[in-house]
Structure 1
Amino acid sequence: MTAAARNRPANHLYYGDNLEVLRREIGDASVDLIYLDPPFNSNANYNILFRSPTGDSADAQIEAFEDTWHWNDAAEDAFDQVARSGNTRAFDLLNAMRAFLGENDMMAYLAMMAVRMIELHRVLKPTGSLYLHCDPTAGHYLKLLLDGVFGARAFRREIVWRSGWVSGFKTRTANWIRNHDTIFYYVRDPAGTWTFNKQYVAHEADYVRRGGGENPLGKAIDDVWDDPALYSPNIKSFSSEKLGYPTQKPVALLERIVSASSNAGDVVLDPFCGCGTAVHAAQKLGRQWIGIDVTHLAISLIEKRMQAAFPDAAFTVEGTPRDLASAEDLARRDKYQFQWWVVSMIDAMPHGGKRKGADGGIDGIVYFKPDGKRTERALVSVKGGDNVGVQMIRDLHSTMEREKAPVGIFVTKALPTAAMEKEAAAVGRFHAEASGRSYPRLQIITLAELMRGKRPDIPYVDPTAAFRRAAREETGQQGSLL
């Protein structure tokens, strides 16, 4: 091993399709614990919710991922990859599901999941464990797939996680109120040994065991997890953990899993890492970790979360632009991921998503306080194409006027024309009392300038408006589950 390899951080955050990242980056039998909380195929478009610091009702909703699959060439290819994987048991099961379900959305979802489960089985150590978090939408099918890939004897437990108290809109259903998710627990080698550290919660203060002899460690935890400390942050409106991500899980839930099925220094993998709760818990408990997600919004949120919670944590971020060439490549490959990445670079709140129209082409909003008290908005427009023109500047100016926004930020991959720069300068300047300076109202920043570190010239920007800042943590510390 080279000196550079020895000094490289052990923790990695990858942007990309987790199937490609697993095959390219993760070695055989190299992971001690896998936790995955994949999309549930619930035919819902999950959004990251960004609360406006001004209290406006029109909070931004950006599609984090589209939780819907359709039977198409990609699904057929995933099915074919399972057929060619050599895992005949998994393929026979998947093929039987196809005969039963037909070529529909659910079958497409299961084919996509099956090929990934095979890779997860490959990277897991013989002593390793896997926890798959799901809901009733596809949980029964996923359990069968896990049996096919890992073997039915590898199944250890079905854990029921109560997500919180029942109130509000949930109670209106004309049915039993659903209030739990399921976590399937499997081990890599049921005939061997695997890591399991039995977990306890402290007895109540006045607890006395009949006949005496109570366990000094407390009460052993069973497979129904209904501790209030484990309730979803999205249900607890006052939760200090809440980051605004729709499927966020509590750190205490992941601490329990990481503590039970790994030891200090072990490697924890989350291939659908969302807002990063699993890697947060792994870092907090002194484990190494790998996180993978397919959206730049999630990667940006996790990067900021880890930097805020663990300022001294060392980790790499792979797959996001690190130079002008890679940024230009992202702009060519994926318009929306490019926009969201640019917005995250300038501490803006994403806006608009993939639905254009009434938003006037606004891709982000920067909140700032020109007088140190009143919150104002700077509207961000991102252009990743090769052709830009003066009409784009006029359109942004018109939107600024309509929205009564004092500042507009125009970020462009292509170089602006002289006419564009003249049009932007004509919009004028505004004065900020708090700083005693004046600032251009419409600012143009090229992608090349952005990569060199240039940022919008705006006074008193609130960087936490886009991503809520995680509370600082100490590595190697476990929070109370009581």
Structure 2
Amino acid sequence: MDLIYLDPPFNSKANYNLLYRTPQGDAIQAQTTAFQDTWWWDTPAAVAFDDVVASGSRAAPILIALKSYLGESDLMAYLAMMSVRLVEMHRILRPTGSLYLHCDPTASHYLKLILDGIFGFENFKNEITWKRTAAHGDSRTWSRVADKILFYTRTQDFTWNIPYEPHSDSYVSSHYSNADADGRRFQLTSILSPSPRPNMMYEWKGFPSPPMGWRYSRETMADLDRRGMIWYPRTKSGALDTAKRPRYKRYLDEQKGNVLTTIWTDIPPVNARAKERMGYPTQKPVVLLERILAASSNPGDIVLDPFCGCGTTIEAAQRLDRRWIGIDVTHHAIDVIEGRLDERCPKASYKVTGRPENLSEARDLAKRDAYEFQWWANWLVGVQNYLEHKKGADKGIDGLIYFKNGPRGIGKVIVSVTPSWLRL
């Protein structure tokens, strides 16, 4: 992989629901759990912990130390399950590749320790703070408004395209207050060398050499002068004022903007009225992913999102001409992403793997996860409203299909998934 972005569950103990709609677009009150953001110490967590310890990864002693402090807690389960995955992500990154882990302050400090062990602390590049929302009026502590994005690289030789943001109007007014006769705005910057440069000490058009020399050679100065890039001070009579210094003219229309910092406040969250909204409360805006992909990958590179959810990374990669791979544990997430691509990237070419394509694979899915089998079966027949809110005993009705029923308005078909036939 050239770039990996992951936005895993944050151990927030929250159930994230998807809102379903009728064919007419009206909201349906019934919701279904897309995934449950809850972790607990169980056999899979213990196996994940043992796998990391046995892997020989530099994260092993860190994970052992954390377990001695946190015990067999829910948070330790989360860290163990994340660690075994991060070890594999490090393995498949190209030497020039990067990884961005999106998290909140609940566990970001623990995850950073683990990433330091896996990638090496020398390959930690930034902790980005994304202000995702405004202050909450009912907060009982300092209002939590930001997420963290941890940026690591595989090596020191990594892909990097400098990201810029446009200059603000106030910045332009204060820093580019000068203009040529044709209206081109510019600012004046020093043309003097900041350190002693004996070979740059020469007289230029009657201006004596600065104490440490000019910033440019005679040849470069002549080229800049020919292109009108040097401003010369003049007296009231219009003559050159050699008691002062010439300056370099930095034109506004030749600047890309300000280099972006690690504090991002210019990207709002996906609000309730946003066209890109898919119904996931934790959905990230496409522009956030486009910024990350543009900075740390190039067209044609391969981008991986191993927790792809509703497909924001995939859409951003498709729009920026990157190749991509998305992984999710639920069948419904893949269904959502397919619909998203069909609507917003109709020319996208992709293949879905892991979905049953024959009787043998359907039997296998039912044995491994009856709940996911139910989702898949509902999808096969076009269910629009899934009625099972959580895993548990089958209540008989698993989904509804709405259809136009002539003068009677909207009719509905009741769907019940009964996998007993798989035993045949």
Give the TM-score range, shorter chain. 0.7 to 0.9
Residue 142 of structure 2 is matched in structure 1 by 176
Residue 354 of structure 1 is matched in structure 2 by 390
Task: Give the residue type in structure 1 aligned to 2:269.
Answer: S
- Deviation for aligned residue 1:303: 1.8
Matches within 5 A, 1:317-356: 317-349=352-384, 350-354=386-390
Q: Distance in 2 between matches of 1:32 and 1:354?
A: 37
- Find out whether 1:35 has 2:5 as its counterpart: yes
- In the TM superposition, what whole-angstrom CA distance separates every residue of 1:16-38 from its partner, at most 9, and x where no partner exists? xxxxxxxxxxxxxxx10000000
- Which secondary structure state, in structure 2, belongs to the residue aligned with residue 208 of structure 1? helix
The structure having more radius of gyration, on CA atoms, is: 2
Q: Distance in 1 between matches of 2:275 and 2:24?
A: 19
Q: 2:34 is matched with which residue: 64, 67, 91?
A: 64
Matches within 5 A, 1:186-335: 186-190=152-156, 193-205=157-169, 207-210=172-175, 212=187, 213=250, 214=252, 216-227=255-266, 230-233=267-270, 236-335=271-370
- Which secondary structure state, in structure 1, belongs to the residue aligned with residue 348 of structure 2? coil
Q: 1:111 to 1:313 in 2, by over 3 A?
A: same
Q: Distance in 2 between matches of 1:355 and 1:58?
A: 21
Matches within 5 A, 1:361-376: 361-371=396-406, 374-376=409-411
Q: 1:178 to 1:376 in 2, by over 3 A?
A: farther
Residue 119 of structure 2 is matched in structure 1 by 150
Residue 395 of structure 1 is matched in structure 2 by none
- In the TM superposition, what whole-angstrom CA distance separates every residue of 1:399-425 from its partner, at most 9, and x where no partner exists? xxxxxxxxxxxxxx689xxxxxxxxxx
- Which secondary structure state, in structure 1, belongs to the residue aligned with residue 162 of structure 2? coil
- Which secondary structure state, in structure 2, belongs to the residue aligned with residue 329 of structure 1? helix
- Deviation for aligned residue 1:56: 7.9
- Runs of 5+ unmatched residues, structure 2: 177-186, 188-249
- Deviation for aligned residue 1:253: 0.5
Q: Distance in 2 between matches of 1:127 and 1:373?
A: 62
Residue 84 of structure 1 is matched in structure 2 by 54
Task: Give the residue type in structure 1 aligned to 2:175.
Answer: R
Query: 2:371 touches 2:391 (CA, 8 Å); kept in 1?
Result: no
Query: 1:51 touches 1:60 (CA, 8 Å); kept in 2?
Result: no
Query: 2:7 touches 2:103 (CA, 8 Å); kept in 1?
Result: yes
Q: Distance in 2 between matches of 1:142 and 1:135?
A: 10
- Which secondary structure state, in structure 2, belongs to the residue aligned with residue 161 of structure 1? strand
- Find out whether 1:98 has 2:67 as its counterpart: yes
- Give the % identical residues: 50
Q: Distance in 2 between matches of 1:414 and 1:377?
A: 30
Matches within 5 A, 1:434-453: none
Q: 1:373 to 1:125 in 2, by over 3 A?
A: farther
Matches within 5 A, 1:92-131: 92-131=61-100
- Deviation for aligned residue 1:54: 7.5
Q: 1:362 to 1:241 in 2, by over 3 A?
A: same
Query: 1:126 touches 1:189 (CA, 8 Å); kept in 2?
Result: yes
Task: Give the residue type in structure 1 aligned to 2:261.
Answer: D
Q: Distance in 1 between matches of 2:407 and 2:168?
A: 49
Matches within 5 A, 1:19-58: 31-51=1-21
Q: Which runs of 4+ in 1 moved over 4 A?
A: 51-58
Q: 2:132 is matched with which residue: 163, 173, 178?
A: 163
- In the TM superposition, what whole-angstrom CA distance separates every residue of 1:192-211 from its partner, at most 9, and x where no partner exists? x1111111222235623526
Q: 1:54 to 1:155 in 2, by over 3 A?
A: same
Task: Give the residue type in structure 2 aligned to 1:353.
Answer: H
Query: 2:6 touches 2:307 (CA, 8 Å); kept in 1?
Result: yes
- Deviation for aligned residue 1:85: 0.7
Q: How many residues align?
A: 348
Query: 1:49 touches 1:246 (CA, 8 Å); kept in 2?
Result: no
Task: Give the residue type in structure 2 aligned to 1:258.
Answer: L
